[in-house]
């Protein structure tokens, strides 16, 4: 039934070709009990491996049932092995972490036996090899003789016509060895048995034929006891179906948990992977979000709850406007004087001692009057009370602050806000909640400076000056003036009579005639108004006459391009009513709905947070790609770290995989077993991470940052992460399987053992 015709097997290593055996002619029949002997290195094992389809051959032809096998593909060879060959090895090749029962069951599963059929078969054969009662014992716990009995049971379980055994007794004491050989003989009378041995005496009582190898060739082929040969037994190939999907799942699950240490390590690695990926993902989202943060030139308070409101016709706000706005749903408060939101006041010592006491927002006294615990409330525009955090810098220096006077400056531009210094006459402390609100919008404010209405009006007027520009029309010339950083600033001076304007010689020179007495038209413009005033030039001042006209002793100490009007005219220019208010909403999520409602009520709106200028406007798409690449890069690093560790852990599994390959598992089988195993571990790890994320979201630990970070992980994100990580796991398994199968089963096995 099995015939070799001038078969040769060559090994090539490092360019050198050596023969495992060469030009072997042999024919085997069912019922034969063949012993192959010969000195070490004579080619016995190689011959046996070729016969059992574990190794390929390079020359000649091997026939099975008259069919040539040289053209067999890997799959054909796998199938051939499943159908015809049961193997027994010197080193047993049991799965040590499996029980006796599971070891025998394994080959039946691999050959696609029916689930119902398996238990009976397994128990029967275990009984036959004399291991009843040991079914549940782990293979690693058995003696050598017992192990080889399991191996025999395994080889016989699926009823292949050929049993090959390579030095099956090599690792056994002589007593067990004799028993094993006898067992083999008894259990396989109708099969072809080929035993490689260098202890011929052991097998002598049973053999029907003795083949002696020498130097890769058959030196002697002797028929003994020909009378024992059965007359032409009908050959029956064993079942060779595919491992069913159910069995794959069962084996995969079994492999996942049967070595606790390995399972624990893998779980740790996958926890690392999951948490790492969650961290990567969250910081990626966080990064994207903070990129959205920008700054605004005009607005100090850019909280997401603020809507700027002006009137459609740019007119001034009236009480009924405030009432109307307050009545709109989701409006928490109307900040009438919204300069209090946008002006950050720097507190400096007024006597020029260089003391800096911090930055605060401006606020109405009434709002915090209850909280003033020391001193009293302000009585005039030169007094203020201070509300600060207990542990702020200003809070630590309240005694010194109240002792002297303060100069108020615009923290942003450095401009003086009031013409006179301010005395802090009382103070108090903010509550934790108030501090949280203060800090929550990203400001660095220490608290609030509360002043009376008159002072606030002055400050607002000063502020408006900053946002107004002027055109000076004089003697056919138009000059741009004012604005934040502009030239020709307008000041008020007691020296200037109402209706007149004093100009520097710079401007006066625009006319070839005497400037004084001529008309000068001033157009004062802001976002909200454009007013034109006509003055008579009262004087053109220079450094010689400035004391006479303006009481200025030295022109070098002031802006020598300023224009001066009377205090009353100055107020006409800038003391406007309010053109702009802000609305703070209760629920930030509904800010656009609220904005719509305000628009419908007849106002113009701006959600202030949207008006921020991004730091990286021009680079936004580049940044997006850059941080996405950071995420991908991070995940790749995670993947390879994980792969590396998994590879180390799975190294111990290589024996397992090469063993089941020799038992008939295909490459696809091994690959899917590995995938199932890693998939199960991954899911457990992901589940643990998920539970942790949900736990952290609840803020049970009291670490502020964690729930915030975790709030980036919505269901969709978690699903995305799951899919990404799942793909990574499958990829990992596939990659590992691929490198595992870059070698033939036999070579892989030889390397591992």
Q: Rounded to whole angstroms, how far apart are CA atoms 586 and 123?
A: 74
With CB cut-offs between 5 and 8 Å by kind, which of ligand ADP, Mg ion, none does residue 13 bind?
A: ligand ADP
Compute how many residues bind ligand ADP; rule: CB under 6 A: 12
Binding mask 233-272 for Mg ion (x = CB under 5 A): ----------------------------------------
Are 455 and 418 spatial neighbours (Cβ–Cβ below 8 Å)?
yes
The strand pairing partners of 309, in sequence order, are 581, 605
The gap from C-alpha 241 to its chain's centroid, in whole angstroms, comes to 43
160 binds ligand ADP (CB under 6 A): no
Coil, strand or helix at 159: coil
Q: Rounded to whole angstroms, how far apart are CA atoms 536 and 323?
A: 43
State which residue, 296 or 744, has the beta carbon closest to ligand ADP: 744
**Smallest gap, in angstroms, from Cβ of residue 151 to Mg ion?**
16
State which residue, 45 or 340, has the beta carbon closest to Mg ion: 45
Compute how many residues bind Mg ion; rule: CB under 5 A: 1
Are 502 and 563 spatial neighbours (Cβ–Cβ below 8 Å)?
yes
**Count, residues in the chain:** 753
Give whole-number Cα distances, 117 to 112, 113, 121, 123, 127, in Å.
11, 7, 7, 11, 16
Handedness of CA 46, 51, 52, 54 (dihedral sign): positive
Name the segment binding Mg ion (CB under 5 A); options: 39-47, 237-245, 284-292, 698-706: 39-47
Q: Rounded to whole angstroms, how far apart are CA atoms 143 and 141?
A: 7
Handedness of CA 445, 448, 454, 457 (dihedral sign): positive
What letter does residue 616 receive in the DSSP assignment? T
Nearest residue to Mg ion, by Cβ distance, number only = 45
State which residue, 202 or 524, has the beta carbon closest to ligand ADP: 202
168 binds ligand ADP (CB under 6 A): no
With CB cut-offs between 5 and 8 Å by kind, which of ligand ADP, Mg ion, none does residue 532 bind?
A: none
Coil, strand or helix at 91: coil
State which residue, 145 or 216, has the beta carbon closest to ligand ADP: 216
211 binds ligand ADP (CB under 6 A): no
214 binds ligand ADP (CB under 6 A): no
Q: Rounded to whole angstroms, how far apart are CA atoms 41 and 37?
A: 11
Coil, strand or helix at 123: helix
The residue from 37, 45, 285, 330 that contacts ligand ADP (CB under 6 A) is 45
**Smallest gap, in angstroms, from Cβ of residue 207 to ligand ADP?**
18
Q: Rounded to whole angstroms, how far apart are CA atoms 571 and 492?
A: 9
With CB cut-offs between 5 and 8 Å by kind, which of Mg ion, ligand ADP, none does residue 18 bind?
A: ligand ADP
With CB cut-offs between 5 and 8 Å by kind, which of Mg ion, ligand ADP, none does residue 149 bind?
A: none
42 binds ligand ADP (CB under 6 A): yes
The residue from 2, 20, 238, 270 that contacts ligand ADP (CB under 6 A) is 20
16 binds ligand ADP (CB under 6 A): no
Tokens 């574990």 — which residue? 54
State which residue, 511 or 744, has the beta carbon closest to Mg ion: 744
State which residue, 26 or 406, has the beta carbon closest to ligand ADP: 26
DSSP E strand boundaries for 526-579: 530-541, 563-565
The strand pairing partners of 374, in sequence order, are 427
Q: Rounded to whole angstroms, how far apart are CA atoms 45 and 52?
A: 10
**Smallest gap, in angstroms, from Cβ of residue 658 to ligand ADP?**
14
Q: Rounded to whole angstroms, how far apart are CA atoms 5 and 26?
A: 7
Give whole-number Cα distances, 749 to 300, 653, 662, in Å.
72, 11, 9
Tokens 């002697």 — which residue? 220
The residue from 37, 46, 160, 285 that contacts ligand ADP (CB under 6 A) is 46
41 binds ligand ADP (CB under 6 A): yes
90 binds Mg ion (CB under 5 A): no
With CB cut-offs between 5 and 8 Å by kind, which of ligand ADP, Mg ion, none does residue 609 bind?
A: none
State which residue, 43 or 252, has the beta carbon closest to ligand ADP: 43
Q: Rounded to whole angstroms, how far apart are CA atoms 43 and 58?
A: 15
**Smallest gap, in angstroms, from Cβ of residue 116 to ligand ADP?**
41
With CB cut-offs between 5 and 8 Å by kind, which of Mg ion, ligand ADP, none does residue 644 bind?
A: none
The residue from 45, 247, 409, 582 that contacts Mg ion (CB under 5 A) is 45
State which residue, 45 or 148, has the beta carbon closest to Mg ion: 45
43 binds ligand ADP (CB under 6 A): yes
Give whole-number Cα distances, 282 to 64, 68, 268, 709, 712, in Å.
62, 61, 21, 6, 6
37 binds Mg ion (CB under 5 A): no
The residue from 6, 11, 173, 351 that contacts ligand ADP (CB under 6 A) is 11
State which residue, 43 or 378, has the beta carbon closest to ligand ADP: 43
Closest among 187, 192, 456 to 343, alpha carbons compared: 456
Write out the residues near Mg ion by the rule CB under 5 A. 45
Write out the residues near ligand ADP by the rule CB under 6 A. 11, 13, 18, 20, 38, 40-46
């Amino acid at each position: 039934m099995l015939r070799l015709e001038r078969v040769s097997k060559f090994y090539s290593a490092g360019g050198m070709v050596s023969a495992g055996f060469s030009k072997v002619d042999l024919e085997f029949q069912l019922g034969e009990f063949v012993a192959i002997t010969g000195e070490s290195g004579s080619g016995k094992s190689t011959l046996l491996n070729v016969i059992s389809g574990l190794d390929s051959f390079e020359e000649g032809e091997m026939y099975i049932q008259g069919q040539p096998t040289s053209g067999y593909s890997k799959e054909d060879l796998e199938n051939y092995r499943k159908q015809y060959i049961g193997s027994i090895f010197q080193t047993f090749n049991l799965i040590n972490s499996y029980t006796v029962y599971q070891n025998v069951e394994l080959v039946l599963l691999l050959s696609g036996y029916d689930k119902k059929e398996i238990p009976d078969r397994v128990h029967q054969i275990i009984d036959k090899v004399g291991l009843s009662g040991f079914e549940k014992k782990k293979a690693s716990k058995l003696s050598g003789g017992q192990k080889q009995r399991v191996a025999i049971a395994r080889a016989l379980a699926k009823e292949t016509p050929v049993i090959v055994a390579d030095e099956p007794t090599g690792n056994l004491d002589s007593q067990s060895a004799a028993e094993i050989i006898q067992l083999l003989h008894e259990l396989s009378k109708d099969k072809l048995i080929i035993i490689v041995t260098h202890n011929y005496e052991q097998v002598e009582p049973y053999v029907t034929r003795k083949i002696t190898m020498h130097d890769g060739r058959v030196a002697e082929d002797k028929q003994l006891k020909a009378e024992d040969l059965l007359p032409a037994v009908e050959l029956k190939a064993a079942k060779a179906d595919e491992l069913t999907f159910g069995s794959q799942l069962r084996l995969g699950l079994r492999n996942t948990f049967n070595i606790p240490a390995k399972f624990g390590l893998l779980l740790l690695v996958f926890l690392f992977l999951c948490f790492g990926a969650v961290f990567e993902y969250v910081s990626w989202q966080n990064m994207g979000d903070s990129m959205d943060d920008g700054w605004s030139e005009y607005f100090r308070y850019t909280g997401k709850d603020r809507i700027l409101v002006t009137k459609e016709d740019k007119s001034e706000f009236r009480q009924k406007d405030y009432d109307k706005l307050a009545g709109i749903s989701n409006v928490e408060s109307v900040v009438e004087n919204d300069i209090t939101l946008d002006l950050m006041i720097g507190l400096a010592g007024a006597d020029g001692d260089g003391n800096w006491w911090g930055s605060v927002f401006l606020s109405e006294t009434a709002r915090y009057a209850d909280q003033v615990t020391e001193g009293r409330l302000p009585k005039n525009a030169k007094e203020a009370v201070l509300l600060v955090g207990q542990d702020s810098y200003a809070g630590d220096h309240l005694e010194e602050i109240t002792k002297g006077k303060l100069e108020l400056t615009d923290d942003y531009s450095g401009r003086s806000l009031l013409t006179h210094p301010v005395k802090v006459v009382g103070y108090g402390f903010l509550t934790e909640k108030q501090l949280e609100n203060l800090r929550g919008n990203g400001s660095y404010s220490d608290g609030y400076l509360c002043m009376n209405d008159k002072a606030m009006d002055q400050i607002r007027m000063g502020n408006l000056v900053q946002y107004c520009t002027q055109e000076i029309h004089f003697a056919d010339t138009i000059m741009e003036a004012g604005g934040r950083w502009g030239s020709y600033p307008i000041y008020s001076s007691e020296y200037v009579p109402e209706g007149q304007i004093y100009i520097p010689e710079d401007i006066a020179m625009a006319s070839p005639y005497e400037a004084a007495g001529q008309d000068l038209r001033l157009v004062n413009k802001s976002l909200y108004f454009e007013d034109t005033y006509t003055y008579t030039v009262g004087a053109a001042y220079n450094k010689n006459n400035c004391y006479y006209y303006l009481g200025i002793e030295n022109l070098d100490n002031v802006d020598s391009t300023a224009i001066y009007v009377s205090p009353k005219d100055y107020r006409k220019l800038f003391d406007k009513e309010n053109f702009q208010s802000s609305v703070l909403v209760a629920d930030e999520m509904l800010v656009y709905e609220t904005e719509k409602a305000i628009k419908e009520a007849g106002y113009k709106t701006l959600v202030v947070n949207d008006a921020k200028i991004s730091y990286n406007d021009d680079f936004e798409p580049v940044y997006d790609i850059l941080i996405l690449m950071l995420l991908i890069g991070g995940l790749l690093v995670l993947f390879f770290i994980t792969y590396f560790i998994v590879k180390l852990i799975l190294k111990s599994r290589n024996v397992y995989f090469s063993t089941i390959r020799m038992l008939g598992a295909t490459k696809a089988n091994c690959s899917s077993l590995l995938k199932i195993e890693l998939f199960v571990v991954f899911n457990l790890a992901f589940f643990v991470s998920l539970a942790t994320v949900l736990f952290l979201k609840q803020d049970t630990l009291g670490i502020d940052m964690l729930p915030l970070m975790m709030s980036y992980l919505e269901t969709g994100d978690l699903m995305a992460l799951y899919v990404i990580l799942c793909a990574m796991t499958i990829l990992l398994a596939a990659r590992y399987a691929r490198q595992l199968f870059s070698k033939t089963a036999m070579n892989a096995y030889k390397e591992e053992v």
